[in-house]
Amino acid sequence: MEDHQRTRVIAAAVGVFAEKGYPATTVDDLVNAARVGVGSFYALFGGKEECLVAAYESVMKEARGEAIAAADGSAAWAHQVAAGLRALLGWVQREPIKARIALIEIQSAGPSALEAREETLAEVTGFLARGREARDLSRPLPETLEQTTVSGIAWLLHRRLSTRDVATLDSLYGELARLILVPYLGEEWAEREIAARAGALTG
Amino acid sequence: MGSQYRHPVPEREADKSGAPPGLPRLPPGRHGLDRDFVVKNQRDRLTAGIIAAVARHGYHGATVSKIVAEAGLSRKTFYSYFSSKEECYLQAFDLILDHLVATMREAGGEHEEWPALVRDRIEAILETFIANPDLVRFAVVAPVQAGDEMTAHQAVGMERLLAELTKDKQADGARRVSAAVEQAQIGGMMAVIAHRVETGEEKRLLELLPDLVELFLTPFLGEAEASSTASLA
């Protein structure tokens, strides 16, 4: 029962936070949208920040699922990166409300929200950093490479969502894949991986 | 509320709270300073006040009371210059951007090629931030917490920095880089800087210089040339 209600509140909260923005959202807004009592809300969440973090975890679970489903876990790292990127761009394009929670609202709340976001960033940068193993290390890559790439793309998506300009996000696949992969693979290899993925998914 | 006080009243109770560091304090009572000086001085103090308050309390936590406490001025004085906290924030943000752009323009020798100019310009940004890390908390960290309007304003600021970094590029036959990738590059650079400041490593910002230069230049010049410019950083 409680699980069912929790799911319902989270689903409603995604819509409310995305529409009003986290700072302007009140617990009243959340309980009204979810049609639950204030008491039930506080039985589930300590407050609106905890509810936002739960909404964030829920949308991230979906996004992560999309990326994992698209990327063959046994395939080479570069394949997985390219397929995962493509899946994520598609998800943001199809689910701008959920993506808004994942990329924008989570940044307007307090420390526990920022911590949840840091965990996601660490997970993604950690996965990208595995590309360093594939590289012949004549010269080390910049230490901040993954952080720069991931937060840079997050900023780009943030702006697109904020200006409601997501209809053609999937067309950025090639140039963003290049931005991510070239440092690890060099240009020639990276192009080959990107073309392979683009063909596999559109064909 | 509006600005009902057309002529800002010289502050008389400035001594009650501590003056922000680095800013001159007005003598108490009626004094001989002309009004332009007072206006400039009070405006500067409010600007310094909002920067300190937002850096310390975040955008939403920085109330007008906290801003005027940092500035050592009254609420009444605040509202004689600004109709709202938002207005004060946006003006301070633009002043910081003007300052950053000016320092980037001063950086770099006259006969330097574009890659070296990029290095000098990024160095100028880092040095400005090291001298006052509150500028990072105010202009890079706070807007994303503040909502769409402030982030849109921040995006315009990022565009200005990007335009300044890429100025003089054509002469060097750099590749064309899409607007999306450029946006990711400047966003990524600022996020890395912000992260350092938030983890208390602001004194070590300059150590980021080679990385930031290389990562910024790579899409334009290819990896080899980008890293050779970075290694000079």
Model confidence pLDDT, tens digit, residues B180-217 = 999 999 999 999 999 999 999 999 999 999 999 999 99
pLDDT tier for residue A203 given thresholds of 50, 70 and 90: very low
Q: How far is CA A146 from CA A68, A156, B185, in A?
A: 19, 15, 12
Position A179 in a domain: yes
Distance from CA of A91 to the nearest CA of B (A): 18
B219: contact with A, CB 8 A cutoff: yes
Q: What is the pLDDT of residue B109?
A: 77
Complex ipTM tops 0.85: yes
CA-wise closest residue to A104 among A45, A23, A33, A9: A23
Phi-psi region of B104 (alpha: psi -120 to 50; beta: other; left: phi over 0): alpha
Q: Is the Cβ–Cβ distance between B215 and A144 less than 8 Å?
A: yes
Average pLDDT over residues A119-143: 88
Top-tier CATH class for B14-83: mainly alpha
Position A37 in a domain: no
- If one compares B24 and B100, the residue with the highest pLDDT of the two is B100
Query: Which 3-state string (H, E, C) describes chain A?
Result: CHHHHHHHHHHHHHHHHHHHCCCCCCHHHHHHHHCCCHHHHHHHCCCHHHHHHHHHHHHHHHHHHHHHHHCCCCCCHHHHHHHHHHHHHHHHHHCHHHHHHHHCHHHHCCHHHHHHHHHHHHHHHHHHHHHHCCCCCCCCCCCCHHHHHHHHHHHHHHHHHHCCCCCCHHHHHHHHHHHHHHHHHHHHHHHHHHHHHHHHHHC
pLDDT tier for residue B7 given thresholds of 50, 70 and 90: very low
* Residue-averaged pLDDT of chain B: 85
Q: Within a 10 A sphere around the Cβ of A80, how many other Cβ atoms?
A: 20
Average pLDDT over residues A144-155: 97
pTM surpassing 0.90? no
Q: What is the pLDDT of residue A199?
A: 58
Q: What is the pLDDT of residue B132?
A: 94
Nearest-Cα residue of chain B relative to residue A104: B144
CATH code of the domain containing A77: 1.10.357
**Length of chain B as a residue count:** 233
Instruction: From chain A, pick out residues whose CB is under 8 angstroms from the CB of B61.
Output: none
Position A13 in a domain: no
Distance from CA of B179 to the nearest CA of A (A): 10
Instruction: From chain B, pick out residues whose CB is under 8 angstroms from the CB of A151.
Output: 187-188, 191-192, 195
Average pLDDT over residues B50-78: 96
A26: contact with B, CB 8 A cutoff: no
A167: contact with B, CB 8 A cutoff: no
- Containing domain of residue A190, as a range? 52-202
Query: Residue B17: is its pLDDT beyond 70?
Result: no
Q: Which site among A149, A179, A194 would you substitute to test the B interface, given the most B Cβ atoms closer than 10 Å to its Cβ?
A: A179
B226: contact with A, CB 8 A cutoff: no
Query: Residue B232: is its pLDDT beyond 90?
Result: no
pLDDT tier for residue A137 given thresholds of 50, 70 and 90: low
pLDDT tier for residue A65 given thresholds of 50, 70 and 90: very high
Query: Residue A41: is its pLDDT beyond 70?
Result: yes
* Tokens 């949208």 sit on residue: A33
Distance from CA of B183 to the nearest CA of A (A): 6
Total domains in the fold of chain A: 1
pLDDT tier for residue A85 given thresholds of 50, 70 and 90: very high
Contact A108 B187 (CB under 8 A): no
Q: What is the pLDDT of residue B172?
A: 57
pLDDT tier for residue A62 given thresholds of 50, 70 and 90: very high
Query: Residue B15: is its pLDDT beyond 70?
Result: no
Q: Across the interface, which of A21, A143, A175 has its CB nearest the CB of B148?
A: A21
